[in-house]
Chains A and B, each alone.
Chain A
Amino acid sequence: MQIRNFSIIAHIDHGKSTLSDRLLMRAGAITEREFKEQILDDMDLERERGITIKASAVTVFHEHTPAGSTKAEKFMLNFIDTPGHVDFHYEVQKALQACEGAILVVDSTQGVQAQTVANAYAAVDVGLEIIPVINKIDLPGARPEVVAEEIEQVLGFPAEDAILVSAKTGEGIDELIEKLCDILPPPRGLPDAPTRALIFDSIYDDYRGVITYVRVVDGELRKGQKIRFMGTDKQYQITDLGKLMPRPKQVERIGTGEVGFIVAAIKDLHDVRIGDTVTDLANPATEALPGYKPSQQMVYCDFYPSGKTQYDELRDAMDRLSLNDSSFSFEPESNDALGFGFRCGFLGLLHMEIIQERLEREFNIQMIQTAPTVTYEVKQTDGSVFRIDSPSELPEPTTVEEIREPFILMNLILPADSVGNLMKLCEDRRGTYKKTEYIGATRVMLQYELPLAEVIYDFYDRLKSATKGYGTMDFDFIGFRHGDLVKMDILVNGDKVDALSVIVHRDHAEARGRKLLVRLKEEIDRHLFEIPLQAAIGGKIIARETIKSVGKNVTAKCYGGDVTRKRKLLEKQKEGKKRMKRVGSVDIPQEAFMAILESDD
């Protein structure tokens, strides 16, 4: 039996999930009704957002007569779904490394987009055979020839190789399956060598513990086999082996080149490291497979319980959530204003939003989320280097030799007439221009190196508005770089408020400080006395504002019937103050602490 392992990669909304399901249906693995329900995306949240979060691996069988042959053969097609968003690069790479080929899907109405490029490069990087597919050719606005040329121009795949399909109607699917069987290389592995299987995904199941997805490279896995994870050096016995077809089906063995899952009474998702190699305990391989770069948390924010939610409930919910998402982290944190909560790290902004929504939706958690910040690397004068993800962790300026911030390489694909706007935006955000490439006559690919901190706030919104929604972006982390960064403190009525400190670029500090103070001035009520607001670097004041004292606040009439009403009114005002944080003698509302972290320029 022939085996083909492949992924489907695409820009978001270019029809990857629909194409996956159409392939399953054509192979007889799902019914027409199931096709309509998009069965590969198993979380509600994913379906609502039109994105896939966890990679799944599905096995189907297909009868095919290879080109140049007259005899039909049975093909095992293993396809490994990948997430479709910029934050999940690492997950995409994990999935790709388990394949020999990839279907690159491009929407025939939208053409090549930023993630098309990023995903195609990622697939080329791991040496995959790529089949370009132009999807949605049933739509009235489809321009398959133009898109085929874009694919050739930008990615270098010959235009005539692109397969035209409509995942929705099924048109072109047969040709695609034939190409899968004919063009993609079979897995190359050594059936007789000691077992080596690559872990490319894992999920947590309440009843069975961790379910580990593997691609067997050499040898085989058997039910009952004693195994060892080479990286973590943990030992288990396989209690169950299975494949998704797409429903879970138990199997006795998973052979060389095949894909499936292991159940082995593993209780903690963190015990399974993605990219690790599974080998036989008794007859181990000498060398592990090349692993993955571990996923990096680049974006941080705090979650604080609010409303009816207590701290413990929030902690329990995050514990539960981390059972099936090992890529986010959390540590206890306390804040002057918001009390006890957690500092959380994420792969990116979307990842952050997904976690937040899942906490709220699946666990009924009410919480306050602070705006995101990035991780900084600090080099001290004694030569030591460490990372911080909160301004409060920054040591005394005298002991800091330099502060480094994460940089990304940003690919933007835009209508040509918005290039000027985007260049301006990138320059304002401290970007370094790399290159411009034309895609057809009307679109441009623009490349910039940018500090991540300048991207995480509202860059995407700015891009969308500057390009009337047509611009797309994708970026990749390229390393920590020195920045002229300083910690800016905020003083309210002369008292430094730690929760309001931010790390900013020196050249932007004054403008940012002024903006922060204006926002604070809006959020803090007038008091009985004048309140100076100051932004300072070290001891130096760089911006100031003043909140004037209350001018007039006196009720003219207070007779018999007014007493209760007036008392209640004043009590209510007082009640409002109780939820504020008193710093010195100033009551600062929670909103002020949120506003401080927002960029509104």
Chain B
Amino acid sequence: MTLVQLGIPRSLDLRDLPRAEIPGLYVHIPFCFHKCHYCDFYSITRQTEERMTRFIDLMLREAELWRDLRVKPKTIFFGGGTPSLLPLEQMRRLIEGLRNRFDFSQLNEFTVEANPATVSLEYCQMLREAGVDRLSFGAQSFNPSELSTLERHHNPDDVPRSVEIAHRARFTRLNVDLIYAIPGQDLASWSQSLERAIALNTPHLSCYGLTYEPNTPIAVKRRLGLLQPAEESLELQMLHHTRDCLAQIGKPAYEISNYATFGEECRHNLLYWNGSSYVALGPSASSHVHGTRWKNRPHLGEWEASITAGERPAVDIETLTPLQRAGELAMLQLRLSAGLNFDAFSTQTGCDARTIFADQLQRLSNLQMIEIDERGFRLTNKGLNVADAVASEFLAPSE
């Protein structure tokens, strides 16, 4: 019985972790102008220059605390919050500081999330020069009233302007995020937003069905009956419309909510879905190293206190059993259009998916939820609609 099973909090001993290289680095910048009403990522809205300066100092100290791990990033992702809210000099200092602390020799993707309302050419040029090669813009919708339902404070025209600026700064790898199934949105309105995003001709698009995360303002409004969520059937219509539309223009879905031209998939996110290892910096950020998962202290103040004290801010440390890892990997890879590859799965987990999941595979293929061939299995269009229910079949019941 492990300590986790006994419910005893434990600290993270890096010596317990395998020594293999860690290919992912995530950096969480918890600052926003304004908290969007659907967002449940950790962020705070009030900040001073001093606090952000101190934050960068601490972030770089945190990077040092993880030095014993063999972090050799192939991909880096700056998410938030709003990373582009960091003042230019601080952002440059953060990237340079990380470059001095980790080995960037293998780096082949570096993404920063940016707010379309605030990016400037100068900022984009700085990022590009610092080694960033991919930008992700949160457009969400091109309909002003839908944006206001989401409490997004940008103008639809900010998005093409930002894309234009990014191009001028020599960025080619761009993503635009969209949200569908917004209260009040119909299929026509969603089509229009999608068309406008397509017109920007970015190689990558993310289209998310609106999720009512617990304790977000939008979920509270729904509970109080102040807004009417989209009908399930409409949401599914939007999902399939999106997939058809984007497949036709050569940007097929490679994950439930992600679409890209071949080769332009987000490599960093693929690490998540393929069960690879990544280390995350910043408050509330989650790491996964070879079957051990943990989370950084979720609040800025606590995180700052840990780092200041020279302690790693890890909490909720959990080491998965081999079967849990296998189940989790199946859950994640089912999100991918490629699905689960039997050979890769055996190599990674030491388990034969055809054996350990024999019952599930039989039942779910009879129900036409998955299709199985000699390489592996994946969701059908029908299975896609109920992907979570299908995925849960592969998980072991919790202890």
> Smallest Cβ distance from B129 to chain A, in angstroms?
27
* A145 nearest CB across to chain B (Å): 59
B395 A529 Cβ-Cβ under 8 A: no
Closest CB-CB distance, B360 to chain A, in whole Å? 11
Q: Please determine whether B331 and A557 come into contact, CB atoms closer than 8 angstroms.
A: no
- CB of B389 within 8 A of CB of A563, answer no
Q: Which residue of B lies closest to A565 (CB)?
A: B286
The interface size of chain A toward B, counting residues with CB under 8 Å, comes to 29
A529 and B391 alpha carbons, distance in the complex (Å): 15
Say whether B367 contacts A556, CB under 8 Å. no
Task: Name the contact of A563 in the complex, choosing from B210, B211, B293 (C-beta under 8 A).
Answer: B293
Given known pairs A528-B389, A566-B331, the reply for A556 and B398 (CB within 8 Å) is no
- Which A546-587 residues have a C-beta within 8 angstroms of B? 549-561, 563-564, 566-568, 570-575, 577-578, 585
Q: How far, in angstroms, from A574 to B364 measured CA to CA in the complex? A: 16
**Chain A residues in 8 Å Cβ range of B367:** 528-529
Q: Which B residue sits closest to A525, measured CB to CB?
A: B389
Verify A550–B386 contact, CB threshold 8 A: yes
Q: Which residues of A contact B236 (CB under 8 A)?
A: 551-552
Using A560-B280, A563-B272 as known contacts, say yes or no to A555 and B388 having CB atoms under 8 A apart: yes
Contacts of A553 in B (CB 8 A): 385-389
The answer to whether the Cβ of B288 comes within 8 Å of any Cβ in the partner chain is yes
- Alpha-carbon separation in the docked complex, A337 to B158 (Å): 59
Q: Are B386 and A570 in contact (CB under 8 A)?
A: no
Prevailing SS type, chain B contact patch: mixed
Interface status of B12 (Cβ within 8 A of chain A): no
Is there an interface contact between A571 and B211, defined as CB atoms closer than 8 Å?
A: no
A 513-542 to B, binary, CB cutoff 8 A, 1 in contact else 0? 000000000000000110000000000000
Return chain B residues, CB-CB under 8 Å to A578: 397
Query: Contact between B211 and A556 (Cβ–Cβ < 8 Å)?
Result: yes
Answer whether residue B169 sits at the interface, using C-beta atoms and an 8 A cutoff. no
Name A343-374 residues within 8 Å CB distance of B: none
The answer, yes or no, to whether B278 is at the interface (CB within 8 Å) is yes
Q: How distant is the Cα of A550 from the Cα of B393 in the complex, in angstroms?
A: 14
**A contact residues around B265 at 8 Å (CB):** none
Q: Answer whether A571 and B385 are a contact pair too, CB < 8 Å, given A561-B295, A564-B318.
A: no
* Nearest neighbor of A549 in chain B, beta-carbon distance: B386
Contact of A554 with B392 at beta-carbon distance under 8 Å, contacts A560-B272, A567-B331 already known: no
Q: How many A-B residue pairs have CB under 8 A?
A: 111
User: Are the C-beta atoms of A560 and B278 separated by less than 8 Å?
Assistant: yes
- Given A552-B385, A561-B295, A563-B272, A528-B397 contact (CB < 8 Å): no
Most chain A CB atoms below 10 A, which of B257, B318, B397: B397
Q: A554: which B residues are within 8 A, CB to CB?
A: 209, 239, 256, 384-388
Encode contact with A along B78-106: 1 for CB under 8 Å, 0 otherwise.
00000000000000000000000000000
Taking a contact as CB atoms under 8 Å apart, the answer to whether A557 and B211 are in contact is yes
Bound together, the chains give a CA A567 to CA B396 distance in angstroms of 10
- Interface: B235 (CB within 8 A): yes
Bound together, the chains give a CA A118 to CA B286 distance in angstroms of 73
* Closest beta carbon of chain B to A555's beta carbon, Å: 6
A574 to B26, CA, bound (A): 31
- Given B24, B41, B293, which contacts A564 in the complex, CB threshold below 8 Å? B293
| Chain A proximity of B135: nearest CB distance (Å) | 17
Given contacts A528-B386, A564-B293, A571-B397, contact A556 B209 (CB under 8 A): yes
**Central interface residue in A550, A556, A574, by most chain B CB within 10 Å:** A556
Complex CA distance for A63 and B239, rounded to whole angstroms: 95
Give which listed residue, A551, A561, A567, A572, contacts B328 with CB less than 8 A. A567
Contact B284 A561 (CB under 8 A): yes
Segment 233-277 of A: residues with Cβ below 8 Å from B: none
B173 at the interface (CB under 8 A from A): no
| B151 touches A (CB below 8 Å) | no
CB neighbours of B287 from chain A (8 A)? 560
* CB proximity of B244 to chain A, nearest CB, Å: 17
Chain A residues lying within 8 Å of B273, measured Cβ to Cβ, are 558
Say whether B208 contacts A556, CB under 8 Å: yes
Question: Are A557 and B332 CB-contacts (below 8 A) given A552-B235, A573-B392?
Answer: no
B272 in contact with A559 (CB, 8 Å): yes
Is B269 located at the chain interface by the 8 A CB criterion? yes
Per-position contact with A for B289-329: 1 when CB-CB < 8 Å, else 0? 00001010000000000000000000010100000100110
A563 and B286: CB pair below 8 A?
yes
Q: What is the interface of chain A, defined by CB distance below 8 A to chain B?
A: 528-529, 549-561, 563-564, 566-568, 570-575, 577-578, 585
Q: Which 9 A-B pairs have the closest CB atoms?
A: A570-B392, A571-B398, A561-B286, A556-B208, A554-B387, A552-B232, A556-B209, A553-B386, A551-B232
Known: A552-B233, A566-B331. 12 other contacts (CB 8 A): A549-B386, A550-B385, A551-B232, A552-B235, A552-B386, A553-B385, A555-B388, A559-B272, A567-B331, A570-B391, A575-B397, A577-B397
22 contacts between A and B (CB under 8 A): A528-B364, A528-B369, A528-B389, A549-B386, A551-B386, A552-B236, A552-B386, A553-B385, A553-B387, A553-B388, A553-B389, A554-B209, A554-B239, A554-B387, A558-B272, A558-B335, A560-B26, A567-B324, A571-B395, A574-B396, A574-B397, A575-B397
